[in-house]
Chain A
């Protein structure tokens, strides 16, 4: 069974750093791209970017503001989304998603950035 299990909810202050994770199982990690999708409270879905765990090729959405990085660790079949300096506008639910066409989704990680 394919599973994407995300790390738990996080609360941070503006300017702090954060790394959230997406642990995958049930398939060959390096065979499928992993994307991250943002959903702000009460809003729609925004595609942030995607990584190919096979060669770490990464694409970002230039329209999504924020200082974030997408990465992956093949040895533990896990993808990551991290920020070096959070802003209040980064408060949202974040989903990891398998493939460009989104066949499997993680349960979401809620990030709250507030002073």
Chain B
């Protein structure tokens, strides 16, 4: 299976700052089928980015995704208070689908 490794495990920033989250894959992600999710306590994850760089419906443009092959990045350009949460990357280019272990973004 394609193992995804996220870094850092925890990222401590303040509102207004820029956040850069990384996701590395053990194998090339087919067709760049890589997604990013945000999860807040007690809630289901929410899709932010799919196909590595496409924003999901209703996602603010301060969220952007980039990368290809085995290295992917999620950038939040200017943190808002509601952005502090856990973020997961996921590859769906091969079965089984796999998730990274998550990055906790804290203030």
Contacts and interface: CB of A to CB of B under 8 A. Distances in A.
Given A61-B96, A101-B47, A44 B102 contact: yes
Interface in A75-102: 95, 100-102
Interface residues of B, number: 24
Contact of A107 (B44, B90, B98, B101): B44
B56 A103 contact: yes
B47 A44 contact: no
Contacts of B47: 101-105
B31 to A, nearest CB: 11
Q: Determine the main DSSP class of B at the interface with A.
A: loop
Interface residues of A, number: 22
Contacts, number: 62
B99 interface: yes
A100 B51 CA distance: 11
B35 A95 contact: no
B88 A44 contact: yes
A110 B23 CA distance: 29
B45 interface: yes
A70 interface: no
A95 B99 contact: no
Interface of B: 1, 33, 35, 37, 39, 44-47, 50-51, 56-57, 88, 90, 92, 95-102
